[in-house]
Amino acid sequence: MNRSKRYKGCVLLVDDKVDELHSITRFLMREGYEVLMAPNAAGAVAQLSKQAVDLVITDYNMPLRNGMDLFREIRATYPELPVIMMTGLGTEKLAADFMRERGSDYLTKPVNLMELLAKVKRGIGVCCERNLFQARQTMEDINGSLNLAMATLRTIHAVAENVTGSANKERVREILYLVKQSSRELAGAAQLIQTQQPDRETDGDNAVENMEVAS
């Protein structure tokens, strides 16, 4: 898919009103966002199980399970995922309840697209800042493990320099023990790096070209 705008993130849009679902989707895609669609809470949960997203926008008034039900399920499974609620009810109590439970933002219908865009940018921006902080913390942990491993290897080298010819068995056992310790530290660092690999690419080429409503 050719885009005139740079890819900016992935949004899951949930609304049982198909016309509104497609209208908002087209707008966000023109602004450079990848958009996944779901017509209800069950479809949204299914989408989240298949692909990571940066933000969820959900309507409140949906059959079977409303937007608050979906929000609470998302918050239980993905506690840091930003969620924006849309509703035509416009009740202050609903907005207060949503924000009290750590909702990200709130929109009343009919949705002002420029207001929606501003809130999407803000929500994804907060998410990116949090992910960057977590990545920095992880890198500090990795650096700590690697530094410890390097210190162990330097100790091994120093001990090995004192071993000549038919070295005594105690010294050889000491070297072997240090080698094992070093291997464990390096394996731990490698595992940390591996667990931080992203579940999906953040390249715009992954955007949805044919918008299909999840069933």
157-179 pLDDT, tens digit each: 666 656 555 556 566 667 667 76
pLDDT score of 143 more than 50: yes
- Alpha-carbon Rg for the chain in angstroms: 25
Is the Cα torsion angle 49, 109, 99, 121 positive or negative in sign?
positive
**Of the candidates 143, 137, 146, 158, which has an alpha carbon nearest to the alpha carbon of residue 185?**
146
| Structural tokens at position 115 | 């207001």
Rounded to a whole number of angstroms, the distance between the first and last alpha carbons of the chain is: 24
88-125 pLDDT, tens digit each: 766 777 878 888 888 888 888 889 999 999 999 998 87
**From the CB of residue 34, how many other CB atoms can be counted at a distance below 10 Å?**
25
Q: How many CA atoms lie within 13 A of 186 on its CB side?
A: 11
pLDDT for the residue numbered 115:
95
Helical axes 41-50 vs 67-77, angle rounded to 10°: 20
**Of the candidates 57, 62, 118, 68, which has an alpha carbon nearest to the alpha carbon of residue 93?**
68
In CATH, what number does 9-131+200-206 get? Answer: 3.40.50.2300
**From the CB of residue 67, how many other CB atoms can be counted at a distance below 10 Å?**
26
Determine if the pTM surpasses 0.85. Answer: no
Q: Which single residue is written with the structure tokens 């989408």? A: 47
At 9 the three-state DSSP class reads strand
What does the domain layout of the chain look like in residue ranges? Answer: 9-131+200-206, 134-195
| Structural tokens at position 112 | 């002002």
pLDDT for the residue numbered 206:
38
